[in-house]
Amino acid sequence: MGDALLPYGRQSIVEEDIAAVAEVLRGDWLTTGPAVRRFEEDLCALAGGVPAVAVTSGTAALHVAYAAAAIGPGDEVVCAPMTFVATAATAVAQGATVVFADVSPETGNLLPEAAAAAMTARTRVVSAVDYAGHPAPVDELSKVAHDGGALLLEDAAHSIGGTWRGRPVGALADLTTFSFFPTKNLTTAEGGAVATPNPDLARRAAQFRNHGLVRDKARMRFPDEGGWHQEVHEFGLNYRLPDVLCALGSSQLRRLAWFKERRAEIHARYTAGLSDVEGVRTPVTLPGADPMWHLYPLRVLDGRRRALFDHLRAAGIGVQVNYVPVYWHPVFADLGYQRGMCPNAERFYAEELSLPLFPDLSDTDVDRVVELVREFL
């Protein structure tokens, strides 16, 4: 990378990706065309045959999922706080109240017992997050959600391509959301998707991402209006992902296995280089998990995280912290949420430092990061 800042995440684009986009640009469909359907079919195959609806971002995917679940005022959503703000904010946008439940001190993923304690008669969705790419304990969380009459949403922005107990991410929850931002495990520049095995949820998701439009005459209230007629029965938004970006996504999916393999190699190299260092804790992999590592969340102990962050940034290493607990954001504090609600999450945040991790990262750069961490500690 020369003398430039080594980023903590970066897209991997090859000539085949560029050719796939160029082919769409030379064709007749820039949006709502065959490349969208092909990308959704490719995602469906990856998710064990679960249908997918492509949308404009991971945030849009969350919003679409909550809308498909008919979340609204008076409803509650139990949510993990170790995540980007969108996991909770999109539920609030639907009028729901978010109830935060604590996470595992090992993985940062939602604890089933904490989720169970947060459930009430108003809980409609339990939102788990596959933090850093390690799948959440979806079997236990599904039981918690379903026993309370709620749906399980798996925010899999970090984990597409991973598996839990032999089953692929995307086929584990009632609703699964993906993100295809450039730093994620594959990219469409901006983009996301919702996967669900429930046909009604899938129909509602597809409808919401297209303004809520109804074009099926069998469902119209005024089917004889004319051949041009379409209706809106429930409000939706324009969250359509165009063919140009879907073509990039399908091309990227062809390299997903290599992305996963290379990320695992880098992850293992960091762990081999840092596991004997006092003052840090390396990530764990629980039995049954085959993660798609999106982050390398090093835990820096003894209150030295900020000093190590500054040391590495000064050396040109673009480390990051993922994430401040969601309810610490002023927008949630203004709603009455207080610090101290989820002590495991707050301790995890106080120690977490994401080291650079992306497929084109060289072993030499990994070793340089390891050397700088060891030198500091």
- State the average pLDDT over residues 128-144: 98
User: Does residue 184 have an active-site annotation?
Assistant: yes
Question: Does the pLDDT value for residue 163 go beyond 80?
Answer: yes
Type of residue at 15: E
Question: Does the pLDDT value for residue 339 go beyond 80?
Answer: yes
Question: Does the pLDDT value for residue 69 go beyond 70?
Answer: yes
Burial of 105 (0-12, 13-18, 19+ CB in 10 A): middle
DSSP for residue 212: T
Q: Are 172 and 196 in contact (CB under 8 A)?
A: no
Q: b/e for 83-97, b at 16 or more Cβ within 10 A?
A: bbbbbbbbbbebebe
How many Cβ atoms from other residues are within 10 Å of residue 336's Cβ? 7
What is the SS3 string spanning 129-142?
A: ECHHHCCCCHHHHH
Per residue in 84-115, pLDDT (tens digit) is: 999 999 999 999 999 999 999 999 999 999 99
Per residue in 278-315, pLDDT (tens digit) is: 999 999 999 999 999 999 999 999 999 999 999 999 99
Contacts of 225 (CB under 8 A, 6+ apart): none
What is the SS3 string spanning 290-346?
A: ECCCCCEEEEECCCCHHHHHHHHHHCCECCECCCCCHHHCHHHHCCCCCCCCCHHHH
Q: Are 270 and 363 in contact (CB under 8 A)?
A: no
Per residue in 241-279, pLDDT (tens digit) is: 999 999 999 999 999 999 999 999 999 999 999 999 999
Instruction: State pTM to two decimals.
Output: 0.96
Contacts of 334 (CB under 8 A, 6+ apart): none
Question: Does the pLDDT value for residue 4 go beyond 90?
Answer: no
